Amino acid sequence: MRFEPFADGPTKQLIDGVPDAIVLVDGSGAIVLANKQVEALLGYTEEELLGQPIEILVPERLRHRHVDYRGAFSRSPSVRAMGSGLMLTAQRRDGSEVAVEISLGPIATPNGVVTAAAIRDVTERRRQADEIRRTMWYLKSAVESIGDAFLLVDEHDRVVLVNSTARELFDGPLEDGVGERTFAEVLDGSLAAGVFDSPFESRASVRARWLAYHTAPDGLLELRDGGGRTLRIKERRTAEGGLVMLIADVTEDVMREEELHRAREAADAANAAKSEFLASMSHELRTPLNAVIGFTQLLQRDRKEPLSERQQERLAHVRRGGEHLLKLIDEVLDLSRIEAGRVTISPEPVELSDVLAEVRSSLEPVAERAGITLVVEPAELKPVRADRTRLAQILMNFGSNAIKYGREGGTAVFRVQQHGAMVRLTVIDDGIGIPETHRARIFEPFQRAGQEAGPIEGTGIGLTICKRLAELMNGAVGFDSVEGKGSQFWVDVPLFPSATPMPSAAARAAIAESALAGATTRQLVIYIEDNPSNIAFMRELFDELPHLELVTAPTAELGIELVRARKPALVLMDINLPGMSGIEATRRLASWPETSRIPVVALTAAAMTRDTARAASAGFHRYLTKPVMVDELVKVLEELLAPG
Ligand code: ADP
């Protein structure tokens, strides 16, 4: 039953040479030819197949349907792919099945029309297609589960993948346009539909901003639309030159941020108000205290009408009470400013020998009175990075505690050690120590570790301030104590990193050097002050300084005229004056050649650090806060008025 025309010769060779398996089937469905590949693919030799119905190659469950198909084909034969779009399956000789693709073509022969079927193994192709389908499914499901709108744009700017959130967001242009429209076209469609209309921005501006960002995405793009919605857009380039785009509706986050921002502003304003309140409160409290402490000192020093011992004793109580109150006001003020974040630290290279010398000379008189020896241990001192004034404040605090809580005949030792990149400054005493039960809370405000009922005066705030200040300088504080034996308190501050040259101590000392030429018999001091009780106090003080003459002026304007006219040896300047401030007046004096060399000492009730900083930059030679300590003022006058 072999199909004679192709039975042998070149035609058969040709058919055997093609890569597909080929069978020819006659009008009755019988196989009349099979090429070599049929055996390779299905396991039958040509001999075994010749004369068999073609259904021998179809899995049994499909055979009856195949007979019908074959009938339909022979009624209108044409070249086509069999069952196009269907997964076809052939059955091998051993019963196993194989995925195939089959092309059919009618061939007219002298013996009638035969059908040629080319059969190709597509197992691998189908596996790959399945794989791709599965991957696509994962991808789509992942993209869909992103809460934000997602778009993928190819290297030609065509939108090729989106999720349903993106479809909804762009409202329309993405419904049917995926894979065809560019992103610019999609955006234009949405803009035209009013999707991103906003009272804050024109469509043209939204378009320009978005496309500019789209061309060179950097950071985030934010849009705010008319519905009060805020969209945060993030685009990133893909390796293929396309883009991924995520659009998040962050309306709620933004509202929360704005709420937080408003709350923070309100809190800042409240804090500023508190700070201002404290500043003026401190001024108001310090002014009458100035009178109390000042006049007490004058009474104590009164040589014309000396007080009785009893009166002196009582007066000493008044003075101590006043000074305690003053310290309390200053410390509360300082602490509340630190807590409000208003204390700015200006880190600079600090030469420790300078600071230690300064602390020592301030504490020496107190230590002497308490019968305690101050020792500064010699050490190789490298500069540290700190705020000089604040570091000195910490050491003063530790030092005065070591004296206050020390024992007569004892010592207070200042030790400096380097630990890696930090320097530790320790103040060691052999005093009363701190009971175990109080140690944990020693750095908390108003904790006096059992001293509240004792005879040693204090506020319990000093150590809290030390801790906060150290932290502001990137440092830390710590302590160790044995009850009845002594304590050591330390502060760690960072070493100053480079070998930057230090401003010389001489430069600072030069400030103190007044250019006063040889003192005349009575030197003139001009006091610019508007408060009558302060003026009265100063007059009484100067009564006791016969080599000095005091002239006062109630305003800065009058005061500087007076200074220009009389060229005094020294000016005492109040800062809070009606009209021109003492700071401005000092600046002006410094700017005129005939007055620039006259030393100016600031006297003010404003103990705020901010004022201190302002005053320092105004060019004062000294800065004394009220209430003025008589001894301190006299010392400053002596220094600045000393001949040469
Ligand atoms: P105060 O104004 O009471 O001295 P501080 O904050 O400076 O406040 O110190 C808190 C408490 O810690 C003190 O009241 C004291 O009981 C204890 N204290 C601080 N330094 C020492 C020390 N060197 N020796 C013993 N006790 C100390």
Say which residue the tokens 């009575």 belong to.
Answer: 522
Please report the atom of ligand 1 found closest to the CA of residue 448. 14
Look at residue 578 and tell me if it is in a domain: yes
Beta bridge partners of 118: 22, 103
* DSSP H or E segment with residue 91: strand 88-91
Look at residue 438 and tell me if it is in a domain: yes
The alpha carbon of 244 and the centre of ligand 1 are apart by a number of angstroms equal to 63
The alpha carbon of 356 and the centre of ligand 1 are apart by a number of angstroms equal to 21
Nearest CA to 290 among 594, 577, 624, 616?
624
The predicted-structure confidence for 588-612, as pLDDT tens digits, reads as follows 998 888 898 899 998 876 555 555 6
Query: Is the CB of residue 552 below 6 angstroms from any atom belonging to ligand 1?
Result: no
Q: Is residue 644 very low, low, confident or very high in pLDDT (cuts 50, 70, 90)?
A: low
Mutate to test the pocket of ligand 1, among 427, 448, 465 (most ligand atoms within 8 A of CB): 448
Mean pLDDT of 574-601: 89
Q: CB atoms < 10 A from the CB of 26, how many?
A: 20
By mean pLDDT, which of 82-96, 378-392, 412-426, 572-586 is the weakest?
A: 82-96
Same domain, 481 and 359: yes
The predicted-structure confidence for 242-254, as pLDDT tens digits, reads as follows 999 999 999 999 8
Same domain, 83 and 151: no
**pLDDT value, residue 403:** 96
Same domain, 25 and 85: yes
The predicted-structure confidence for 546-562, as pLDDT tens digits, reads as follows 888 898 888 898 899 88
Token output for 433:
């120590």
Say whether pLDDT at 364 is over 60: yes
Q: Is residue 545 very low, low, confident or very high in pLDDT (cuts 50, 70, 90)?
A: confident
Say whether pLDDT at 510 is over 70: no
The predicted-structure confidence for 111-151, as pLDDT tens digits, reads as follows 788 888 999 999 998 899 999 999 989 988 999 998 899 99
Say whether pLDDT at 368 is over 50: yes
Please report the atom of ligand 1 found closest to the CA of residue 463. 6
The alpha carbon of 512 and the centre of ligand 1 are apart by a number of angstroms equal to 34
Same domain, 12 and 101: yes
What total of structural domains would you count in the chain?
5
Query: Is the CB of residue 428 below 6 angstroms from any atom belonging to ligand 1?
Result: no
Which of 436, 471, 499 corresponds to the end of one domain? Answer: 499
**Cα-based angle 375, 376, 380 (whole degrees, multiple of 5):** 155
Say whether pLDDT at 100 is over 60: yes
Query: Is the CB of residue 487 below 6 angstroms from any atom belonging to ligand 1?
Result: yes
Query: Is the CB of residue 398 below 6 angstroms from any atom belonging to ligand 1?
Result: no
Mean pLDDT of 634-641: 88
The alpha carbon of 34 and the centre of ligand 1 are apart by a number of angstroms equal to 109
Q: Which domain holds residue 213?
A: 128-249
DSSP letter string, 401-427: HHHHTS-TT-EEEEEEEEETTEEEEEE
Same domain, 486 and 396: yes
Residue 123 contacts by C-beta under 8 Å, 6 or more apart in sequence?
98, 99
Query: Is the CB of residue 405 below 6 angstroms from any atom belonging to ligand 1?
Result: yes
Which of 92, 121, 150 corresponds to the end of one domain? Answer: 121
Which of 214, 249, 284 corresponds to the end of one domain? Answer: 249
Say whether pLDDT at 505 is over 50: no
Query: Is the CB of residue 275 below 6 angstroms from any atom belonging to ligand 1?
Result: no
By mean pLDDT, which of 30-39, 280-289, 551-560, 633-642 is the weakest?
A: 280-289
| DSSP E strand stretches across 251-350 | 348-350
The alpha carbon of 148 and the centre of ligand 1 are apart by a number of angstroms equal to 59
Token output for 538:
């100063």
**CATH code of residue 563:** 3.40.50.2300
The alpha carbon of 448 and the centre of ligand 1 are apart by a number of angstroms equal to 6
Percent of the chain with pLDDT over 70: 91
Mean pLDDT of 616-639: 81
**pLDDT value, residue 286:** 79
The alpha carbon of 322 and the centre of ligand 1 are apart by a number of angstroms equal to 21
Q: What are phi and psi of 7, to 5 degrees?
A: -60, -35
Please report the atom of ligand 1 found closest to the CA of residue 443. 6
* Structure letter (DSSP) for residue 384: E
Query: Is the CB of residue 627 below 6 angstroms from any atom belonging to ligand 1?
Result: no
Same domain, 270 and 383: no
Say whether pLDDT at 571 is over 80: yes
Query: Is the CB of residue 331 below 6 angstroms from any atom belonging to ligand 1?
Result: no
The alpha carbon of 362 and the centre of ligand 1 are apart by a number of angstroms equal to 19
The alpha carbon of 422 and the centre of ligand 1 are apart by a number of angstroms equal to 25
Say whether pLDDT at 166 is over 50: yes
By mean pLDDT, which of 108-117, 160-169, 304-313, 436-445 is the weakest?
A: 108-117
Q: Is residue 540 very low, low, confident or very high in pLDDT (cuts 50, 70, 90)?
A: confident
**pLDDT value, residue 607:** 59
Query: Is the CB of residue 477 below 6 angstroms from any atom belonging to ligand 1?
Result: no
Minimum CA distance residue for ligand 1 atom 13: 448
Query: Is the CB of residue 458 below 6 angstroms from any atom belonging to ligand 1?
Result: yes
The alpha carbon of 425 and the centre of ligand 1 are apart by a number of angstroms equal to 17
**pLDDT value, residue 50:** 92
Look at residue 184 and tell me if it is in a domain: yes
Say whether pLDDT at 499 is over 90: no
Beta bridge partners of 375: 413
Using an 8 Å Cβ cutoff, are 363 and 402 in contact? no
Distances (CA, A) of 166 to 103, 180, 191, 218: 43, 16, 14, 21
Same domain, 14 and 51: yes
Look at residue 504 and tell me if it is in a domain: no
**pLDDT value, residue 519:** 38
By mean pLDDT, which of 224-233, 280-289, 350-359 is the weakest?
A: 280-289
Q: Is residue 82 very low, low, confident or very high in pLDDT (cuts 50, 70, 90)?
A: low
Minimum CA distance residue for ligand 1 atom 21: 401
Query: Is the CB of residue 402 below 6 angstroms from any atom belonging to ligand 1?
Result: yes
Please report the atom of ligand 1 found closest to the CA of residue 488. 23
Please report the atom of ligand 1 found closest to the CA of residue 402. 23
Please report the atom of ligand 1 found closest to the CA of residue 489. 23
Same domain, 360 and 286: no
Same domain, 327 and 395: no
The alpha carbon of 548 and the centre of ligand 1 are apart by a number of angstroms equal to 42
Same domain, 491 and 365: yes
The alpha carbon of 449 and the centre of ligand 1 are apart by a number of angstroms equal to 7
Same domain, 465 and 351: yes
Look at residue 257 and tell me if it is in a domain: no
**pLDDT value, residue 614:** 64
Mean pLDDT, the chain, rounded, equals: 86
Please report the atom of ligand 1 found closest to the CA of residue 464. 6
Look at residue 234 and tell me if it is in a domain: yes
**CATH code of residue 431:** 3.30.565.10
Percent of the chain with pLDDT over 90: 45
Query: Is the CB of residue 429 below 6 angstroms from any atom belonging to ligand 1?
Result: yes
The alpha carbon of 429 and the centre of ligand 1 are apart by a number of angstroms equal to 12
Look at residue 512 and tell me if it is in a domain: no
**CATH code of residue 11:** 3.30.450.20
Q: Is residue 616 very low, low, confident or very high in pLDDT (cuts 50, 70, 90)?
A: low
DSSP letter string, 590-624: HHSTTTTTS-EEEEES---HHHHHHHHHHT-SEEE
Same domain, 367 and 415: yes
- Angle of helix 609-618 relative to helix 582-591, nearest 10 degrees, comes to 20
The predicted-structure confidence for 449-496, as pLDDT tens digits, reads as follows 988 888 888 889 999 999 999 999 999 999 999 999 999 999 999 998
Look at residue 511 and tell me if it is in a domain: no
Nearest CA to 619 among 585, 587, 597, 641?
587
The alpha carbon of 459 and the centre of ligand 1 are apart by a number of angstroms equal to 9
The predicted-structure confidence for 371-413, as pLDDT tens digits, reads as follows 999 999 988 888 999 988 899 999 999 999 999 999 999 999 9
